[in-house]
Structure 1
Amino acid sequence: MLNCIIVEDEPLARRQLEAYIEQIPFLQLVGTARNPVIASAILQTEVVDLIFLDIKMPQMSGIEFLQQKDIFQQIIFITAYPEYALQGFELEVTDYLLKPVTFERFSKACEKAKIKISGSSTVKNNREQPDYLYVKCDNCLEKITLADILFIESMLNYVHIVTTKRKYTVYSSLKGIHERLPQNSFLKIHKSYIASLDHISTVTQSRVRIAGHELPISRRKQQDLKQYLTNKQQGDFKD
Structure 2
Amino acid sequence: MEKLNSIIVDDNEIDRLTVLSFAKRFPVFNILGSFSDSDEALKTIESDPVDILFLDIDMPGLSGVELRKKVKHIPACIFITSHPEFAVESFELETLDFIVKPLKFDRFEQTARRIEDFFEMRNKASLFESSIGGDVIYIKEGHEQIKIKLHEILYLEALKDYTLIVTPQKRYCVLSSIGLLLKEISFQSFIRVHRSFAVQKQFINKINTHEIILNNNLAIPVGRSFKDNLKFLL
TM-score (norm: length of structure 2): 0.51
Residues 3 and 50 in structure 1, CA contact (< 8 A), matched pair in contact too: yes
Within-5 A mapping of 1:118-157 = 118-119=120-121, 121-124=122-125, 126=127, 128-129=142-143
- Residue 60 (str. 1) matches residue 62 (str. 2): yes
C-alpha separation in 2, matches of 1:117 and 1:14: 24
Relative to structure 1, the CA distance from residue 5 to residue 68 in structure 2 (aligned partners, 3 Å threshold; closer, same or farther) is closer
C-alpha separation in 1, matches of 2:70 and 2:87: 18
Partner of 2:27: 25
* Residue identity (%): 29
Q: Which runs of 4+ in 1 moved over 2 A?
A: 67-73, 121-130
Partner of 1:106: 108
- AA aligned opposite 2:51: D
C-alpha separation in 2, matches of 1:118 and 1:45: 25
Residues 52 and 74 in structure 2, CA contact (< 8 A), matched pair in contact too: no
- AA aligned opposite 1:28: N
- RMSD between superposed Cα atoms in Å: 2.1
Structure 1 regions of 5+ residues with no counterpart?
Answer: 131-139, 141-239
Structure 2 regions of 5+ residues with no counterpart?
Answer: 128-140, 145-160, 162-234
SS at match of 1:32: strand
C-alpha separation in 2, matches of 1:114 and 1:82: 24
Residues 8 and 35 in structure 1, CA contact (< 8 A), matched pair in contact too: yes
Q: How many correspondences in the alignment?
A: 130
Displacement of 1:125: 6.3
C-alpha separation in 2, matches of 1:66 and 1:56: 13
- Residue 42 (str. 1) matches residue 44 (str. 2): yes
- AA aligned opposite 1:128: G
C-alpha separation in 1, matches of 2:48 and 2:108: 23
- AA aligned opposite 2:97: D
- Which range is displaced more, 63-72 or 34-43? 63-72
TM-score (norm: length of structure 1): 0.50
C-alpha separation in 1, matches of 2:47 and 2:15: 24
SS at match of 1:29: strand
- Residue 85 (str. 1) matches residue 87 (str. 2): yes
C-alpha separation in 2, matches of 1:68 and 1:51: 12
